[in-house]
Amino acid sequence: MDATNLPDRRFLHALLAALKPISDRHSYIPLAWIKALLLVALDEGKGVAHYSRAANVHRKIMSRFLHCIGDKGHYDKPGLGLVEIKIDPVGGNRRQVFLTEEGHVVVAAIIASLGRREI
């Protein structure tokens, strides 16, 4: 399908506009991290294994993504602060992932951006 026809171009513009709220806050963010953020937003409070299955990536890779969008990035740099990883109170050593306040703001802005555009 040719992406230059009008409906496809509108869809691409809508997608770029939807990503703007996160790219405005974090100018460089890998798509895999955005996908991890959206998976958490869809189903908060799950463990790393849940999100890794949903993304079809190894659990350790998803753990790294979640830490990068959470509290600690690569090479001892701070993370983006969009998710919070907490110990599951009934699951022993398991972890649960939740959006932070900033994460909720970013996801709400993405949703609002999509709602303003006709796809």
User: Per-residue pLDDT tens for 9-23?
Assistant: 888 888 888 999 888
The verdict on residue 42 lying in a domain is yes
Is the pLDDT at 27 greater than 90? The verdict is no
pLDDT of residue 90: 82
Rounded Cα–Cα distance for residues 90 and 59 (Å): 21
The verdict on residue 47 lying in a domain is yes
**pLDDT tens digits along 40-81:** 999 999 999 999 999 999 999 999 999 999 988 777 788 899
The verdict on residue 1 lying in a domain is no
Here the tokens at position 83 are 């998710």
pLDDT of residue 3: 55
Residues 6+ apart with CB under 8 A from 38: 107, 110
Check which CATH number belongs to the domain holding 100 and give it: 1.10.10.10
Rounded Cα–Cα distance for residues 67 and 53 (Å): 17
**pLDDT tens digits along 85-96:** 998 888 777 889
Q: Report how many domains make up the chain.
A: 1
The verdict on residue 91 lying in a domain is yes
The verdict on residue 71 lying in a domain is yes
